[in-house]
Structure formats: structure tokens, C-alpha cells
Chain A
Amino acid sequence: MRRLLYLLPVALFVAVAVYFLLALDPNRDPSRLPSAMIDKPTPVFALDGLAGGKGLSLDALKGQVVLVNFFASWCEPCRDEHAILMKLGKDSSVQLYGIAYKDKPEDTQRFLQQLGDPFRAIGLDQTGRTAIDFGVYGVPETYVIDKQGRIRLRHVGPLTEADVAKELMPLLKSLQNS
């Protein structure tokens, strides 16, 4: 029995190593995680907004092609990504909405004051409940939702110029024309 205890470290390591092996799958791009939610209806949500803002709910998004970005003031990559969101926000053909993930409203407010506010509306997901419904892996994450309210794309991690040009804009165009 005592001997078994000494086997525990190596047993744990084997389990970790198997996960590492699975994680190395070359088809698994960590920034484009396969989402179980692709082509499924967007989970229902209705979130409060910042003081003076109107909040965000799924009903308000129906009938249009939208981008939903999960962000947080404590998240460093979100700051990296923000310049790109600002550009998208200025593009009148893009409907960009934000969901502040597990963040104090005053911190979110300050974050947007510092870096600019590209969003048409912001929902506060302080409990992280909506993020769990979406299957958010970590912030930032960006989702494309089509006119029928289905999730069509999930992008994990900060967006880059290349992602926007090659992936996001073509998809938005084709969805808007359909």
C-alpha cells in the first residue's frame, strides 16, 4: 500500500503527458478552438450595461450580423487587441458589441475611457454565466452571430489584422449578403 503512494507522482505525470500529447494535435489551432456551439443558436442572455449605457440582450441583436467580443480590463491581450477593435468600431458596416467578462463596472468604464469605446453597446457579465453559456475559454474571444441568431465563428485570443482581413471581413460580407 505504501509503495502505491510512491507510484502516485509518476501516475499523475503519465496522465499529464497524455493530455500534452493530445494537445499537440497539429489540427488543433489553439486560437481557433473547435466550438460545440458553431452553427447552434446563440445562448439567450440579457445583461445590464454600464451606468448610462443600455445593456445588451440577445433579442436586440436578432436580424443582423453581429460581432460579439468578450473582454476584461484585467486581461493583457485585450489591450493588445483593442486598437483593432477601435478600427472595426469605426467601420459602419460592422456591428460590434462587447461583453465585459468578470470585471467590475468601474474598471470596465476606466478601461474604455483609457483606450476608447468601439462598441455599439456593452453587457456586463460579472458572474461569468453568459461566458459559460457561450463556452468562452478565456478572454479575449470574438464571436460572429448571423441574422438567424446562430453562432458562425469563434475566435479565441486577440484578433490580428490578418484575422480581420482574411477571416472576419469575408465571413461578415457573405453573411450580410445571404
Chain B
Amino acid sequence: MIVELGHFALILAACLALLQSIVPLYGASKNHAGLMAVGQSAAVAQFVLIALAFAVLVNAYVTSDFSVVNVVENNHSAKPMLYKITGVWSNHEGSMLLWVLILSLFGAAVALAGDNLPPGLRARVLAIQGMIGVGFLTFILFTSNPFLRVSPAPLDGQGMNPVLQDPGLAFHPPFLYLGYVGFSVTFSFAVAALIEGRVDAAWARWVRPWALAAWCALTIGIAMGSWWAYYTLGWGGWWFWDPVENASFMPWLVGTALLHSAIVVEKRDALKSWTILLAIITFSLSLVGTFLVRSGVLTSVHAFAVDPARGAFILVLLVLAIGGSLTLYAVRAPSMAGGGIFAPISREGALVLNNVLLTTAAATVFLGTLYPLFLDVVNGPKVSVGFPFFNRTFVPLMIPVALAVAAGPLLAWKRGDLRAALQRLWFAFFATLAVVLIGLYLAGFKPVLAILGLGLATWVGFGSLCEWAERVKLFRIPFGESWRRAIHLPRASYGMTIAHIGFAVSIAGIAASAFETERIELVHPGETLQVAGFNLLFKGTEKVPGPNYIADRATIEVRQNGATIAVLHPERRFFTLQQMTTGVTAIRSNFMADLYVALGDPDDKGGATLRAYWKPLVPWIWIGAVFMALGGLLSLSDRRWRVGVAARRRVPAAHPAPGE
């Protein structure tokens, strides 16, 4: 009965979404306040209904209600409670429900937090959100209903893929979807602006917080996925250029470009139609990602169970959403006059460079992901694309991005002085030189690309610090005065500095992977394995029962200079239900480097193959991502203050709100 209630709530939500997509749009065209206000109530009610449906499904999992097909297929009574809950979104139907839940969450957020928006714009944005909602709710109801019953109900479920029973992966989809779906708001703003035929600085100021929020969530989501791959797969890799990884990475790249180009619209009233296009493309790539993962057109280890009917349905949605918005763009965008004029060497120019490089990088990833599919469809020659392709095309595009990140913020708007900007970066320049020279001295010329990568990271990191020092006039005015300036710098400025430093930290982590050492050996109890100055004493394995698995748990004493500094327990877990073995690595991290031990195949004399890695700076890859997201959040907190209050409270002349 409760399950049917969830189904019913979902149907009601679809009806409300339909209402939300028509009435406010009509109201906005007639400038009728009452009809426009329908959008807000509908958006909030839609969220409440979908949340109810979602809660019903969670309840069915928690109580192991095996009269529901979806629960039978993905749940098991012996599964730990955490994975009963996360199991809700570990499958196609449940994850689609999470997708629309987050979509309606953003819709409700626009409805509730958008009091400073012009009513017409808000009504249109909500109408577009409603249309996306109609599309995906009908998709769920007609092709992927999670509330289907089965009779007679089986005694127990089929369980969940053991690989997914991991805390890192459990929370990776919600963050990823917050990012993917969050970009629906910028998409709706872009389409609404095209309908109104008006884009101005105020529009950019309303859009940017949404883009920032989505971008932060996507950054965290991607980082979590990569971190999960690193610690579970047991050989230390953390990025595979897998089609599904690429599907999340492409919106991130274009979304990053969007964040930066929206600044130009806000401050200088230029790049308007380009920004609109980026907003459309970012969400379009999210939709394409959804299509690729769920239609079965590509083979991937991550792909969901597939059904051609679902693929066809999503393709129709893609054509309506992307085709529709791009057609509207083709009709309306040419009449959007660009505003501010700027010289190539200027802050705007630097941001344009950033945009060109990031979108080219996204296009490269797009080609690398889909090229094999395209050729296959036309039965053309088969070409193979893999790791080598991405390393040779993507990495060279990121080098100029990194070079420009340090200099860009030092250029003035309209017309900048590159030489003056570079002069202010002298400290970063010498720090980079020092890192490269010390690196070459210590490591020799062999890993020269890795050393240059570390140099690049130094350049970006110290360049960002130089920019901050420049702003507070460090060492040029009395320290107290600098301190006062530092306190009064806007949070958005700190957000940028921290995010750029995060980028530097990630580059360093990636570059340093060339310096890792590894040792793979068959060891017997009492034997030791040496890696990077550590002695790993293997004391044997024991069987340890888990809730739904039996683990071989190794005990390894880590000794350095004769003293035991840690005891590690890598495991191999055998899941009895699925007859599958997964590995659990043991990682000892001090944030500067990881000691990474994975347990391999046992032999019949109590021994086992151990894989031990010493990975310098590898945690920095994810620490950098966390910095980027924190920078985004800091900037977001600044935005909220300005967006929420600036309309009513005049900002002091010292910091004129741009575009007013």
C-alpha cells in the first residue's frame, strides 16, 4: 500500500510538472502575476511529492520489502543498513528517482530563494525546470518504474554488486547528480534569457551562484569517484578515461569555462551569447552522459543494465531539450549585442583564452569517447582510442591553461599590461625555477616531464599567492595596513585564490605519480617486503566473517628504522551470494605520500602475493579537488550576500557592485 502511495506521488509530481511548464510561461507572456506565481507553488509541491516517493522507496529497501521488483533485484536482507539505503541509487530506476529528486530540489530552491529575481524571469526559469521534470518523470513512469510489484514475493533479494558496497561509492552518485542536475538551473536561466531576448550583468549575477553550487558538487563527485577507484581497484590507478568517467568530466570542463565567462558578462557586459551557449552545452553534456550510461550504446564497466526502449526515450528527450534550446539559440542569440570592448591582452582576453582551451579540451574528450562509436555506426574503419590518445591530446591543452591561470587575474580589465603582470609574478617565476632545478638535481633527467609538471604546479600555486599579495600590497605598505586590506578583500577573491591553489595542488599530485615505487612479491608469514625504505613484515592472513562476506584479512607490520610505525590490514572479501571477490586495500597516508598495500592471490602454503606501492603526493590530487570545491563554496557565500542584500542595501562606493 505504501509503495503504491509512492507511485501515486510520482504521477502527481509529473502532472504538477506539466502544470509548472505551461502556466508560468503563459503568465509571463501576458505579464499576469497570479499565473506566474503558480510556478513557485508547483515547484515546491513537486519537490515534496518526489521526496515522498523517494522516502517510500528508501523505506521499501530498509524494511526489505521483497514484493517490489526493484528491491528484489538490488537488495538482500543480510546487507548492512548503510548499503540498504545507498542501494536505492545503485541501480537504474532508483538512481533516476534520485536524479528527479535533485532536479525538483533545485526547482524548489529557485522558487524559494529567487525573491530578488524579476517575476517574469523567475516564472520562465521555473517553467523550463518544469519541462525537464516532465521529461524525466514520464521517462521513469513509462520505462523505469521503481515501484513495480512482483507476486509471489521471493523470500530474499539478489543483493547488490559487492563493488558498490563501499562508503566512497555510496555517496559518489548523490554528489555527481547534484552537479549534473544543478547545471539544469543555469540551462533554464539561459533558455529563459533567450525567450526574453535579454542578457545583462544582473542576469549573470543571478546565474553564477547556481553554476558555482553545481560546479562544487560535481568537483566533489568526480573526486570521490576517482578516489574510490584508487583505493578499491588495488593497483593504485585513479583515472581511466573510461566513457562513463568522461561523461562526468565533460560537463565539468565546460562548467568551469561557464563559471569564468559569466564573470565577464557580469563585470563587463561582454561574451553574452557565448555564455548562454556554454550554459546550454554544460547541461546538454550532462544529458548526453545520462544517455550514454543508460542506453547501452557504449560498453563500460560502469554502465547500467540496458534496454533499447530507454535509450530511445532519452534520445527523444535529448532532441527536445538540446535541439530545442540550440534552435532557440540560433534564432535569438544573433540579436544579443555584445557590450564592453576589450583588447586581446586583458582580463577578458585571459578569460577568453581559458574558455577556448577548456572547451577544446572538452571537445577532445568528447571525440575520444564517441569517435569509436561513430566510426562503428557507419561501418567505417575501426580506430582504437584509449589512454594514449587522451594523454597526448588532453594534457598538452592543460599546460597553457595552467600557465595562464597565474597571469590572468593580474591583468586589468579592458586593456592589460602583460609585461607588468609578469613582473609581479617574479617570485612565482623563481620558485618555479627553483623547484625544477632541485628536481633535476635530485632525480636526474629521466622523469623530466614530471619535474616540469611540478614546476607548473609551483607556478600556478605561487602565482595565485602573488596575486593575493598584490591585492593586499604585501611588503609595500605597513603590515598592519596590508592586514586590514586582507580582511576586507571580498570572499569571492579568496574563493578564486583557493580554487586556483587547489588546481596547483592537483597538478602536483598528478605529476608526482611518476616518482612512485612499487614492489610485488609472493610472501609467506614471517617474510618481509621492502618498499621505499619501509619493511613490511607479513604476519599471515586469517578468515574474518563480515555481514555478507568472508574476508581473508592480512596483518602487516610496517617498520621504519627498526621501529614499528603502523599495522596494516588489507583484505580480500568473498561475497557468498554473488560468488565475487573484492579487494580492500590498506593505505597509510600522511598527506604527503601514501603507503598502499593490496592483498593478492593466496598460495596454498599460507603465503600471498602482496602489492605494495609508495606514492608520493598522490593524496594531493584529491586534496586539490577539495580546495577547488572549498574555493567555490567560499565564493558562493560571498555571492549570496551580494545577491540577497545588494538589491536593497547600497554597497559602499569603495566596492561598487559591478553592472549597476
A-side residues, CB < 8 A to B, are: 2-3, 6-7, 9-10, 13-14, 16-17, 19-24, 26, 30-31, 33-34, 36, 72, 74-77, 79-80, 101-102, 110, 113-114, 116, 128, 131-132, 135-139, 156-158
With A19-B377, A114-B235, A136-B382 in contact, is A2–B334 under 8 Å at CB? yes
Asked whether, in the complex, the Cβ of B382 is within 8 Å of the Cβ of A137, the reply is: yes
A9→B326 contact, CB < 8 A = yes
- Asked if B656 is at the interface of the complex by the 8 Å CB criterion, the answer is no
Q: Is the CB of A132 within 8 A of B384?
A: yes
B2 is an interface residue with CB less than 8 A from chain A: no
Indicate whether A128 sits within 8 Å of B297 (C-beta atoms), given known contacts A9-B277, A10-B329. no
| A87 to B123 alpha-carbon distance, docked (Å) | 62
Structural contact, B296 and A30, CB atoms closer than 8 A: yes
Contact B326 A26 (CB under 8 A): no
Q: In the assembly, what is the distance between CA of A6 and CA of B335, in Å? A: 11
Q: Which residue of A lies closest to B373 (CB)?
A: A23
Q: Within 8 Å of chain A (Cβ to Cβ): is B435? A: no
Q: Which residue of A lies closest to B298 (CB)?
A: A30
> Which one of B326, B330, B381, B387 contacts A135 once the chains associate, using CB atoms below 8 Å?
B381
Indicate if the CB atoms of A131 and B301 lie closer than 8 Å: no
What's the Cα separation between A42 and B291 when bound, in Å?
Answer: 36
Chain A residues near B296 (CB-CB < 8 A): 30
Contact A19 B520 (CB under 8 A): no
**Complex interface residues of chain B between 233 and 261 (CB less than 8 A to chain A):** 233, 235, 237, 240, 242
Q: Which 8 residue pairs of A and B lie closest in terms of their CB atoms, listed nearest first?
A: A10-B326, A135-B382, A23-B297, A22-B377, A26-B308, A157-B299, A74-B387, A7-B330
Residues of A contacting B311 with CB < 8 Å? 24
How far is A79 from B229 in the complex, measured between Cα atoms in Å?
A: 13
Interface centre among A72, A74, A131 (most CB of B within 10 A): A74
**B273 CB to nearest A CB, Å:** 8
Beta-carbon contact of B240 and A21 below 8 Å:
no
Residues of B within 8 A of A138 (CB): 372, 384-386
- Give the interface size bracket for B toward A: 35 or more
Contacting residues, chain B, for A75 (C-beta < 8 A): 386-387
How far, in whole Å, are A10 and B333 apart by their CA atoms in the complex? 12
Measured between beta carbons, the chain A residues less than 8 angstroms from B385 are: 138
Bound complex: CA of A10 vs CA of B277, how far in Å?
A: 11
Query: For residue A36, which residue of chain B has the nearest CB?
Result: B379
- Given the known A-B contacts A24-B297, A76-B240, are A6 and B312 also in contact in the complex, defined by CB atoms under 8 Å? no
Distance in angstroms from A136 CB to nearest chain B CB is 5
Residues of B within 8 A of A3 (CB): 330, 334
Residues in B with CB closer than 8 Å to A33 are 376
Cβ contacts under 8 Å, B384 to chain A: 101-102, 128, 131-132, 136-139
B299 & A21 in contact (Cβ 8 Å cutoff):
no
Contact B312 A24 (CB under 8 A): yes
Known: A30-B297, A36-B379, A80-B301. A17 touches B386 (CB 8 A): no
On chain A, the residues within 8 Å of B281 by CB distance are: 9
Q: Report the bound CA distance from A2 to B381 in whole Å.
A: 36
User: Which residues does chain B contribute within 8 Å of A157, judged by CB atoms?
Assistant: 299
The answer to whether B437 has its CB under 8 Å from any CB of chain A is: no
Rounded to whole angstroms, the CA-CA distance of A34 and B376 in the bound complex is 9
- Interface presence of B315 (CB below 8 A): yes
Closest A residue to B322 by beta carbon equals A13
Query: How far does the alpha carbon of A135 sit from the alpha carbon of B380 in the complex, in Å?
Result: 10
Q: Is residue B600 contacting chain A, with contact meaning CB distance below 8 A?
A: yes
Cα-based distance from A135 to B277 in the complex (angstroms): 37
**B339 located at the interface, meaning its Cβ lies under 8 Å from any Cβ of chain A in the complex:** no
- Measured between alpha carbons, how far is A116 from B296 in the docked complex, in Å? 31
Q: A9-B326, A9-B330 are in contact. Are A114 and B611 (CB under 8 A)?
A: yes
Q: Contact at A72–B386, with CB atoms within 8 Å?
A: yes
A24-B382 CB under 8 A given contacts A17-B319, A137-B372, A138-B372: no
Contact at A31–B388, with CB atoms within 8 Å? no
Hey, which chain B residues are within 8 Å of A72, CB to CB?
A: 386-387
Minimum C-beta distance from B245 to chain A (A)? 10
B291 x A20 contact (CB < 8 A)? yes
Query: CB-CB < 8 A to A132: which residues of B?
Result: 381-384
B202: interface (CB < 8 Å): no
B327 CB–A CB distance under 8 Å:
yes
B520 touches A77 (CB 8 A): no
> B359-395 toward A: CB 8 Å interface, digit per residue (1/0)?
0000000000010111011110111111110000000
Residue of B334, B374, B611 touching A6 (CB-CB under 8 A)? B334
In the bound complex, CA of A29 to CA of B240 (Å): 23
A22 proximity list for chain B (CB < 8 A): 377-378
Q: Are A156 and B299 in contact (CB-based, < 8 A)?
A: yes
Looking across the interface, which residue of chain B has its beta carbon closest to that of A110? B520
Instruction: Report how far A130 CA is from B23 CA in the complex, Å.
Output: 61
A42 to B236, CA, bound (A): 37
B603 to chain A, nearest CB (A): 12
Nearest-neighbour CB distance to chain A for B613, whole angstroms, equals: 12
Q: Which residue of A lies closest to B308 (CB)?
A: A26
Q: Does B295 contact A (CB under 8 A)?
A: yes
How long is the Cα–Cα vector from A154 to B177 in the complex, in angstroms?
A: 36
Q: Chain B residues near A158 (CB, 8 Å)?
A: 301
Q: How far is the CA of A26 from the CA of B330 in the complex (A)?
A: 33
Q: Which of chain A's residues have a CB closer than 8 A to the CB of B277?
A: 9
Cα–Cα distance between A106 and B56 once the two chains are bound (Å): 53
Q: List 17 A-B contacts (CB under 8 A).
A: A10-B327, A10-B330, A13-B322, A14-B323, A19-B370, A22-B378, A23-B295, A23-B377, A24-B311, A74-B386, A75-B387, A76-B301, A79-B233, A79-B235, A114-B609, A137-B376, A158-B301
Residue numbers in A under 8 Å from B298 (CB-CB): 30
* Interface members, chain B 574-619 (any A CB < 8 Å): 600-601, 609, 611
B318 near A20: Cβ-Cβ < 8 Å: yes
Residue of A whose beta carbon sits closest to that of B245: A76
Q: Is the CB of A31 within 8 A of B299?
A: yes
- Assembly CA distance A96 to B284 (angstroms): 44
Q: State the Cβ distance, B284 to closest chain A Cβ, in Å.
A: 8
Q: A76–B237 contact, CB under 8 A?
A: yes
Candidates A17, A74, A114, A137; contact of B520 at CB < 8 Å = A114
B520 touches A113 (CB 8 A): yes
Query: Which B residues lie within 8 Å of A23 (CB)?
Result: 295, 297, 373, 376-377
CB distance from B184 to the nearest CB of A (A): 17
Q: Are A9 and B242 in contact (CB under 8 A)?
A: no
Give the complex CA separation of A110 and B327 in angstroms.
52
Chain A hits for B377, CB < 8 A: 19, 22-23
- Expressed in whole angstroms, the Cα–Cα distance for A64 and B641 within the complex equals 75
Query: Which A residues touch B297, using CB under 8 A?
Result: 20, 23-24, 30
A110 to B520, CA, bound (A): 9
Q: Who on chain B is nearest to A116 by CB? A: B601
**B312-352 interface (Cβ within 8 A of A):** 312, 315, 318-319, 322-323, 326-327, 329-330, 333-334
For the complex, give the distance between the alpha carbons of A79 and B298 in Å: 19
A95 and B381 alpha carbons, distance in the complex (Å): 28
